[in-house]
Amino acid sequence: MLYYITIATKPHIVLDNIKQRVEKNEENIIILGQEENRYIGWNATGNFGVKLKKVYQYLQNNSLKDNDIILFTDAYDVVYYGTFDEILTKYQELNTPILFGCETECNPKPDLATHYKERNHEFSYLNSGLFIGRVKELRECMRGYEYNDKHDDQLFWTYQFLEKPDKIKLDYENKIFLNTHGINEDTLVYKNERIQYKNKVPAFVHVNGMDKRLVTKLINIKN
């Protein structure tokens, strides 16, 4: 069973767009964090720890089975183009318990770049805004997690990736996830109701980084 989760503490037009796609596909999305009623991330004080807390709490759900699949995306800067069936097929083909999207820069600690074994890809560094993984391994990664509002989810998952290469891999070929920071947006092509990047057709496009103007353009093209 696949469960699509996101974290949204406030309403947002980009989240509305994701919900419309989910409804069109006759799928479901679970929105966590609405009770927080505060801004998180770039629009707040960098309190990315809320994202870790909500994922951790969700994984404690006893109804989740070890082999269930969790799909996570950010809520405010992501455009969804795919389907669950497509995503599951590609995830299974990549043959890894946990798969993260990746980006062109190593953030938030650039000095960790030297710890990455593969740095010859266009997208070589973990981005925590898009991931999919099996419940068993996600629980193992988050076992014993103690919440702090100031924690950085991307830093947490970067350390997990570096320490557990047998459990976590990156979507170097953008088969499911594309993070756009650092690429020329003119190379994005809208064709057959999908965004294509160098002949790759990801299911999700994440406009990571502080400049979010591109996500508005993508939504307007899509609609």
Give me the number of domains the chain comprises: 1
Determine the Cα–Cα distance for residues 76 and 42; give it in Å rounded to an integer.
11
- 125-136: average pLDDT: 98
Determine the Cα–Cα distance for residues 115 and 103; give it in Å rounded to an integer.
15
Q: Please give the single-letter amino acid code of residue 28.
A: N
On the CB side of 163, CA atoms within 13 Å amount to: 9
In this predicted structure, the answer to whether residue 223 has a pLDDT above a threshold of 60 is: yes
DSSP character for 200?
B
Give the model's confidence band at 6: pLDDT under 50 very low, under 70 low, under 90 confident, else very high. Answer: very high
In this predicted structure, the answer to whether residue 175 has a pLDDT above a threshold of 80 is: yes
In this predicted structure, the answer to whether residue 43 has a pLDDT above a threshold of 90 is: no
pTM: 0.95
19's tokens: 């919900």
In this predicted structure, the answer to whether residue 42 has a pLDDT above a threshold of 70 is: no
Closest C-alpha to 73, from 35, 30, 107, 105: 30
- 108-128: average pLDDT: 96
66, 134 contact by CB (below 8 A): yes
Q: How many CB atoms lie within 10 A of CB 57?
A: 14
Determine the Cα–Cα distance for residues 29 and 83; give it in Å rounded to an integer.
12
202, 132 contact by CB (below 8 A): no
Give the model's confidence band at 215: pLDDT under 50 very low, under 70 low, under 90 confident, else very high. Answer: very high
Check residue 45 and give its pLDDT.
Answer: 60
Return the residue matching tokens 């502080």.
210
Check residue 114 and give its pLDDT.
Answer: 96
Q: Give the start-end residues of each E strand in the chain.
A: 2-7, 30-32, 69-73, 78-80, 98-103, 125-134, 168-170, 177-179, 188-191, 194-197, 204-206
Closest C-alpha to 124, from 71, 186, 173, 73: 173
**Least reliable range by pLDDT among 63-67, 71-75, 166-170, 210-214:** 210-214
Domain residues for the domain of 149 are 2-222
Secondary structure element (H or E) that encloses residue 175, with its range: none
**Least reliable range by pLDDT among 16-30, 86-100, 203-217:** 203-217
Return the residue matching tokens 């996830």.
177
In this predicted structure, the answer to whether residue 44 has a pLDDT above a threshold of 60 is: no
Q: How many CB atoms lie within 10 A of CB 153?
A: 22
Helix and strand numbers, DSSP H then E, in the chain:
6, 11
Give the CATH number for residue 63. Answer: 3.90.550.10
- 148-161: average pLDDT: 93
- 143-168: average pLDDT: 94
